[in-house]
């Protein structure tokens, strides 16, 4: 039964769009919420690599939101629900700014600016060099995904699944894209991704869209899932995590759907797809695609064919994050703030590092050749593996 599957994915409630009551309508499912399902115990193993904490810092607690650090060169930009935005270098605070607002999403950044969002739809931009306020803009509802900052502007996704491209100079609206969404959808969404000549966005209903940077018009649409079933709950099939791009290949995964890869050089032609449900995310390297499924298993697939190479299923129900890959290791973090390092070749456990004991909701990231995580408790850690 799909209802049983949803319970195993930690769906504990239905939320109305923009509020936490269900009297106004049942339109958001939350697969990231806490669950009463017991996590798999951690099995002991003999580490095959050594780890070292390079530095740690505090970003502020996340509350009910998910915050993703932004990495630009050796700078790491972090924030939390309390609205304090910081630039860190080697764990040291270069600058810190109090935005004066509760934040719900962040951080998007490049070497010019840093951008965050609020539950009221405010988008706030600051100078990357010194934290000076640059501009403030407004979108139509809460911002749950980190804005994307690119050469063509700042892309923001609002909670009502509208996509805005804002001018990087003053925050003025360049265009907005809106499409009809199903009655029910997953509460939470991936950031837009700039690549090639397009802005790529995943949508409820299982579609990956390439939007024109010039005017926001859809250029091509890739099917990642096909909603099916007898009820609205059965038909939830949303691209929640951001897509990943490497060369001409772009890949995405859908909750209650598939993982699929497309060729951008061939107008979005489907290269392959296979059944696999995830609201967490995926990563690419030169040979493999890595994805964390909704039960906590980590999969390695051949990025050219989609064939399965290995599966690590000993993290069942541990609310495992999206992966990052570097130096022959795949890193994921879990609902107890533990970072797991897996062998890229066979998925075996290579090392384990504990943080502050609170969940990691955002994907593991890379800072140079090292691994970066931010917990909901506000701990930001950079781990070196040798």
Q: pLDDT at position 233, please? A: 80
Give strand pairing partners of 125: 115, 135
- Judge contact between 272 and 308, C-beta under 8 A: no
Nearest to 273 by CA among 224, 208, 207, 235: 224
- Judge contact between 341 and 352, C-beta under 8 A: yes
Q: Residue 266: helix, strand or coil by DSSP? A: helix
Nearest to 65 by CA among 82, 48, 89, 44: 82
Tell me if the domain spanning 43-64+311-386 has CATH number 2.40.10.480.
yes
For residues 381 and 135, give the distance between their C-alpha atoms in angstroms, rounded to a whole number.
30
For residues 283 and 252, give the distance between their C-alpha atoms in angstroms, rounded to a whole number.
10
Query: Whose structure tokens read 């703030």?
Result: 337
100: left (phi over 0), alpha (psi -120 to 50) or beta: left
Give strand pairing partners of 166: 154, 173
For residues 198 and 211, give the distance between their C-alpha atoms in angstroms, rounded to a whole number.
5
Cα–Cα distances (Å) from 163 to 96, 118, 147, 185, 253, in that order, read 29, 15, 10, 16, 19
Q: Is the dihedral of CA 19, 25, 29, 35 positive or negative?
A: positive
DSSP 49: S
Q: What is the pLDDT of residues 203-235, one digit of tens each?
A: 998 999 999 999 999 999 999 988 777 777 877
Average pLDDT, stretch 274-286? 94
CB atoms within 10 A of CB 1: 7
Confidence band for 187, pLDDT divided at 50, 70 and 90: confident
Cα 37 from chain centroid (whole Å):
23
Which ranges of the chain does DSSP label H, i.e. alpha helix?
Answer: 2-8
Residue 12: pLDDT above 50?
Answer: no
Residues in the chain: 386
For residues 226 and 205, give the distance between their C-alpha atoms in angstroms, rounded to a whole number.
7
Average pLDDT, stretch 122-133? 98
For residues 208 and 176, give the distance between their C-alpha atoms in angstroms, rounded to a whole number.
17
**Domains of the chain: which residue ranges?**
1-37, 43-64+311-386
Average pLDDT, stretch 329-345? 98
Q: What is the pLDDT of residues 136-181, one digit of tens each?
A: 999 999 999 999 999 999 999 999 999 999 999 999 999 999 988 7
Q: Mean pLDDT across the chain, nearest whole number?
A: 90
DSSP 145: S
- Judge contact between 116 and 109, C-beta under 8 A: no
CB atoms within 10 A of CB 211: 22
Average pLDDT, stretch 2-23? 34
CB atoms within 10 A of CB 74: 10
Cα–Cα distances (Å) from 159 to 3, 33, 68, 185, in that order, read 24, 17, 17, 11
Cα–Cα distances (Å) from 118 to 20, 144, 316, in that order, read 16, 8, 33
Instruction: Say what the pTM is.
Output: 0.90
């Amino acid at each position: 039964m799909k209802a049983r599957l949803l319970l195993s994915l930690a769906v504990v409630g239905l939320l109305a769009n923009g509020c936490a009551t269900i009297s106004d309508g049942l339109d958001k499912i939350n697969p990231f919420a806490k669950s009463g399902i017991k996590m798999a115990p951690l099995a002991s193993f003999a580490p095959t690599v050594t780890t070292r904490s390079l530095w740690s810092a505090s970003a502020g607690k996340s509350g009910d939101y998910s915050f993703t650090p932004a990495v630009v060169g050796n700078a790491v930009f972090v924030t939390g629900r309390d609205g304090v935005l910081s630039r860190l270098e080697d764990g040291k605070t270069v600058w810190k700014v109090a935005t004066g607002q509760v934040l719900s999403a962040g951080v998007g950044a490049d070497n010019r600016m840093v951008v965050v969002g609020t539950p009221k739809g405010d988008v706030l931009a600051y100078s990357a060099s010194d934290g000076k306020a640059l501009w403030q803009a407004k979108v139509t509802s809460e911002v749950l995904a980190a804005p994307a900052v690119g050469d063509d502007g700042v892309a923001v996704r609002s909670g009502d699944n509208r996509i805005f491209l804002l001018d990087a100079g003053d925050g003025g609206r360049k265009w907005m894209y809106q499409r009809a969404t199903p009655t029910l959808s997953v509460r939470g969404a991936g950031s837009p991704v700039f690549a090639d000549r397009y802005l790529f966005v995943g949508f409820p209903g299982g579609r990956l869209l390439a939007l024109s940077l010039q005017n926001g018009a859809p250029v091509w649409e890739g099917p990642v899932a096909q909603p099916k079933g007898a009820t609205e709950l059965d038909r939830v099939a949303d691209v929640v995590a951001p897509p990943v791009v490497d060369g001409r290949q772009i890949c995405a995964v859908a909750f209650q759907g598939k993982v699929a890869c497309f060729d951008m050089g061939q107008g979005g032609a489907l290269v392959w797809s296979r059944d696999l449900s995830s609201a967490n995310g995926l990563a690419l390297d030169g040979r493999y695609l890595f994805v964390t499924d909704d039960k906590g298993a980590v999969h390695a697939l051949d990025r050219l064919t989609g064939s399965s190479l290995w599966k690590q299923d000993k993290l069942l129900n541990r609310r495992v994050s999206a992966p990052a890959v570097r130096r022959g290791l795949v890193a994921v973090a879990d609902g107890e703030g533990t970072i797991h390092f897996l062998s890229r070749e066979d998925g075996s456990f290579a090392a384990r590092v504990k943080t502050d004991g609170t969940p990691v909701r955002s994907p593991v990231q890379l800072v140079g050749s090292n691994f970066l995580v931010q917990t909901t408790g506000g701990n930001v850690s950079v781990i070196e593996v040798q």
